Amino acid sequence: MPIVIAAAVPHPPLVVPGVGHGREREIPSTVDAYREVARRIAELGPDTVVISSPHTAMYLDYLHIAPGPGARGTFAQFGDAADGSGVTYDEELVAELCRLAREEGLPAGTAGERERELDWGVLVPLHFIQDAYAELRADHREPTPYRVVRMGISGLSPLQHYRLGQLVARAAERLGRRVAYVASGDLSHKLAKDGPYGFAPEGPVFDELACRALGSGAFLELLTADPSLCERAAECGLRSFQIMTGALDRTPVTAELLSYEGPFGVGYGVACFLPSGAAGSDPSRAFGEAYETWHAADMERRRAGEDAYVALARASLEHRVGTGRRLPVPDGLPPELLSRQAGAFVSLKKNGQLRGCIGTIAPTRASLAEEIVANAVSAGLHDPRFPPVTADELPELVYDVDVLGAPEPVRDPEELDPRRYGVIVSAPDGRRGLLLPDLDGVDTVEEQLRIAARKGGIALTEEGVALERFVVERHR
């Protein structure tokens, strides 16, 4: 059996005494559960510990696997340079994993390493695992030495993360490795108003979903979680957990949620999964296939529910990509699209990630329909932050159309509300930055103003900076 144990664990550096200076005692259930998971790993004596971390190299369209013979790291950035870990990488397993990824067409590999040092998403699990191995030695038992594979997450789909986990299990089986898979990741970072990241109502909802899925082993919930909910909850562990579920594809497991706490405004969950049957023996746990079926139905449902504004944006971009020509304004549109003039933004998302957004603050064309047609093409093909949308991507895109109301001046930031109003920051020389309202992850006026000002190349402290707010009519 290639995966002998799997675990989902958090990574708060303060659980390390040299960082926490006693605060680790405020999360006793987390510490105790972490020690238990580490003890189980050490007792099983895996050949390799595979750890996925949200804090290693992360790319929008590539899953990074750390290269080289090994790495070290400390908690120096958290004030504790004395504690840390050094590991030897399982280069043979990494090579096989990369070979399988190339063979399967999965964008994953060892290119693009940014930082060789181990990140805290890896160091915290290693802290407990190394302590557990030390306890074995103290009991006069010589533990089996292990090597490490360190992986990141990406902006790719849940299915792509799941597929990487499947390849981990396949590579381990081909090489005869016994692997412990450790999915490092916190839950929501927005559980308390007095926490470091504030409160969002989506925070507790996400944590309930994650704990339910981890505690029951019903992994499909981790793959189908609403991206907007996840973004607003400010979670960091979901995609790490998704890779882990792939490593357990079709494998019956005994799932156990050992602890959940959130005393610092951040959710910490510890869960353990022990295979209870042969790998690949349970077709009811083919969650990747179940996700594909769900996703196809979900995209069909979204298309069927699109109103005329969104359907026009989609038709415009698909026509331009497919034919190279601009879509003529079609017949049968609602009268207000033909008679009304207004600024409009078209936003594209893929896998819950922004894929393009272009718009106009004020009307520039004869009708709102023409505004949407032009801006949909610009969002897909001319947003300088992204490469042009390809034909293969079109079925995966989700569209929003925001029709802007007339801007009104704002004298005081207290008149703003990031959920209700968009904001325009203007400088006397004509520079302007705009941010739409009710965006995932933008919860405070300060954050909204900072982002809008940055988009316009404006410092909020500049003389003569003016603020305006506006409402939008959102279509999705």
Strand order in the sheet with 344-350: 353-359, 344-350, 397-404, 472-475
Question: What values do phi and psi take at 434, rounded to 5?
Answer: -125, 145
240: in domain: yes
Tokens linked to 18: 């040299």
Give the per-residue pLDDT at 144.
78
Say whether both 56 and 128 belong to one domain.
yes
pTM, full prediction: 0.92
Task: Please give the residue range of the domain that contains residue 339.
Answer: 306-402
355: in domain: yes
Q: What is the pLDDT of residues 358-408, one digit of tens each?
A: 999 999 999 999 999 999 999 999 999 999 999 999 999 999 999 999 999
Please work out, in degrees rounded to the nearest 5, the angle formed at the alpha carbon of residue 222 by the alpha carbons of 218 and 228: 145
Share above pLDDT 90 across residues of the chain, in percent, rounded to a whole number: 93
Say whether both 336 and 439 belong to one domain.
no
Give the per-residue pLDDT at 371.
97
Say whether both 398 and 292 belong to one domain.
no
Residue where a domain terminates, one of 296, 331, 349: 296
Nearest-angstrom CA–CA distance, 316 and 330: 10
Q: Could you tell me which of 219, 213, 211, 196 has the C-alpha nearest to residue 261?
A: 211
Give the per-residue pLDDT at 139.
82
Three-class DSSP category at 390: coil
Say whether both 215 and 78 belong to one domain.
yes
Three-class DSSP category at 402: strand
Q: What is the pLDDT of residues 401-428, one digit of tens each?
A: 999 999 999 999 999 999 999 999 999 9
Classify the C-alpha dihedral 446-447-449-453 as positive or negative. Answer: positive
Say whether both 380 and 411 belong to one domain.
no
Give the per-residue pLDDT at 432.
93
DSSP code string of 234-251: TBSSHHHHHHHHHHTTT-
Give the per-residue pLDDT at 443.
86
The CATH number covering residue 458 comes to: 3.30.1490.150
Question: What values do phi and psi take at 89, rounded to 5?
Answer: -80, 150
Nearest-angstrom CA–CA distance, 129 and 9: 12
Residue where a domain terminates, one of 367, 386, 402: 402
354: in domain: yes
In the chain, how many domains are there? Answer: 3
301: in domain: no
Q: Does the pLDDT at position 143 exceed 80?
A: no
The distance of Cα 186 from the centroid of its chain, to the nearest Å, equals 12
Residue written as tokens 């050949």?
A: 47
Give the per-residue pLDDT at 8.
98
358: in domain: yes
Say whether both 358 and 329 belong to one domain.
yes
Say whether both 159 and 289 belong to one domain.
yes
Mean pLDDT of the chain: 95
Q: How far is CA 427 from CA 374, 422, 461, in A?
A: 27, 17, 11
The CATH number covering residue 65 comes to: 3.40.830.10
Classify the C-alpha dihedral 204-205-206-207 as positive or negative. Answer: positive
The CATH number covering residue 345 comes to: 3.30.700.20
Q: Does the pLDDT at position 35 exceed 90?
A: yes
Q: Does the pLDDT at position 117 exceed 90?
A: yes
Average of per-residue pLDDT across 311-334:
97
Say whether both 438 and 458 belong to one domain.
yes
Residue where a domain terminates, one of 378, 402, 426: 402
Q: Does the pLDDT at position 137 exceed 90?
A: no
Say whether both 84 and 194 belong to one domain.
yes
Tokens linked to 267: 């959710």
Give the per-residue pLDDT at 128.
97
Say whether both 367 and 469 belong to one domain.
no
Say whether both 276 and 324 belong to one domain.
no
Say whether both 291 and 327 belong to one domain.
no
338: in domain: yes
